[in-house]
Amino acid sequence: MKHLKKSRRKFIQNTALATAGLGFSNYLHAETLVNSIRKVKPSDQINFGVIGCKGMGWADMSAHLKMPEVNCIALADVDENVLNKRAADVKELRNTTPKLYSDYRKLLENKDIDAIIIGTPDHWHCLNLVDACQAGKHVYVEKPLANSIEECNVMVDAAKRYHRVVQVGQWQRSGSQYDEAIQYVRSGKLGKIRLVKCWAYQGWMKPVPVKPNSKPPKGVDYKMWLGPAPSRPFNENRFHFNFRWFWDYAGGLMTDWGVHEIDIALYAMNAKAPKSVIASGGKFAYPDDASETPDTLQTVYEYDDFNLLWEHATGIDGGNYGKTEGIAFIGNKGTLVVNRQGWEVIPESDNIEDKQVPRVEKVAFQKGKNNALEDHAANFVNAIKGNTTKLNCGIETGSIAAINAHMGNIAYKTGEKIYWDKEKEMFQNNDKANALLKANYHNGWELPKI
């Protein structure tokens, strides 16, 4: 890549012997990692910065730091407490001290940074990514890609215009069990697949207790945290992890978990845009808690020759096929079920002469064989180095999953069956639904123009 020194393009030659025979999932043991880092020339190293460091932003950075050529040299966060904690974590892992920024735009001015990890709330993803691409940085952005369909399209355009490598954090794409399951689905062994079920039952989720507004914690730039979201007083419920359950910043479980499962389903079925979407649900588990997004939801997507059902529920774990989350491809000959633990095939059978004869061979449960998040990180780094041209979840792929998930929320909000016009990229004869495609920015922030 142009902004990387030419010697970095030869990095794979310098490390081939060191990494031969090692899977990325157990990439290097700690002692081996330290020794490998010492052998990497400064010109061959890839310097990362993180924007939004508390949750998945740090999990993503930690996965990347399993690779000896990766350094974390800069951190940006609106919470000084988080910055200090993550700086200490970098020091412990690598014995280096990253530069700290309260404003991510200052971080992007650092010309030593090659790649950015975006772990901010969803409503910030678009601005973070577009600014990073304009600054010449490659980007690993957390899912869902954005908080609106309009933003998804802007981000795809930005990555293309600025020729940046962009990986979306839908790391299930890098899981061995998903790859095996997709190959099986595409083999035709299940027969005609008429229905795909995706679900996330989250028993660990308890009510979000109602709390009064308060002053932001010391060290938090709350105005910056709000960014393009509507201005409102600080409330602990909306901050850090729980932002997911409020429409100003995210789309609830539909976009939080839905993009993971819907992504695999659509990829396996070679589908992108639905013909129609209808959704029903509400706050049935915890009707009086502080959250806004539905804790119970069923969404039906109609594609050309199959239906996809998304469903989620909080406070219970009794999901389909005895699994709290997963994807089921239901065919005439059998059903394949896959989740983060592994996959299996459950045959349909016929009664022939009083005997149950399976229509397809049963496949016993096959466990996943790798650390998918670490492999996802390794795939991104290899793409930056030019060692591969195939991103496991590039920005267009991430946009498909996010757009479909947002359509589910739009169907829920309108309470109507909505019909998609893929040529015009809008809903047919539905102003209310089309208005929800848009990103509405506040506080002086504007949607980027590409």
pLDDT the model gives residue 54: 95
Q: How far apart are CA 147 and CA 125, in angstroms?
A: 8
Describe the crossing of helices 372-385 and 56-64 by its angle, rounded to 10 degrees.
60
pLDDT the model gives residue 21: 30
> What percent of the chain has pLDDT above 70?
91
Give residue-wise pLDDT tens across range 360-399: 999 999 999 999 999 999 999 999 999 888 999 999 999 9
pLDDT at 444 over 50: yes
- DSSP labels for 165-218? -EEES-GGGG-HHHHHHHHHHHHTTT-SEEEEEEEEEETTPPP-------PPPT
pLDDT at 266 over 60: yes
Give residue-wise pLDDT tens across range 305-337: 999 999 999 999 999 999 999 999 999 999 999
Q: Which domains does the chain have, with CATH numbers?
A: 6-173+375-398 (3.40.50.720), 175-369 (3.30.360.10)
Give residue-wise pLDDT tens across range 41-96: 776 799 999 999 999 999 999 999 999 999 999 999 999 999 999 999 999 999 99
Q: Which residue has the higher pLDDT, 343 or 22?
A: 343
Phi, psi (5° rounding) for residue 366? -110, 115
CA distances from 343 to 175, 183, 284, 409, 434 (A): 11, 12, 31, 28, 38
CB atoms within 10 A of CB 9: 14
Asked which of 31-35, 121-125, 129-133, 372-376 is least confident by mean pLDDT, the reply is 31-35
Q: pLDDT band for 34, please (50, 70, 90 cuts).
A: low
pLDDT at 27 over 60: no
pLDDT the model gives residue 11: 34
How many residues make up the chain in this entry? 450
Q: How far apart are CA 86 and CA 92, in angstroms?
A: 10
* Span 214-227, average pLDDT: 98
Going by C-alpha positions, the residue among 436, 251, 121 that lies closest to residue 262 is 251
Residues 109-138 as b or e (16 or more Cβ within 10 Å = b): ebeebbbbbbbbbbbbbbbbbbbbbebbbb
> What average pLDDT is seen over the chain?
92
pLDDT at 242 over 90: yes
CB atoms within 10 A of CB 166: 30
> Residue 441: which residues within 8 A CB-CB, separation 6 or more?
228, 447
Give residue-wise pLDDT tens across range 269-297: 999 999 999 999 999 999 999 999 999 99
* Span 109-125, average pLDDT: 98
pLDDT at 8 over 50: no
Q: pLDDT band for 355, please (50, 70, 90 cuts).
A: confident
Share of the chain residues as helix, strand and coil, in percent rounded to the nearest 5: 40, 20, 40
Contact 50, 75 (CB under 8 A): yes
pLDDT at 206 over 60: yes
Going by C-alpha positions, the residue among 293, 324, 295, 326 that lies closest to residue 309 is 326
pLDDT the model gives residue 144: 98
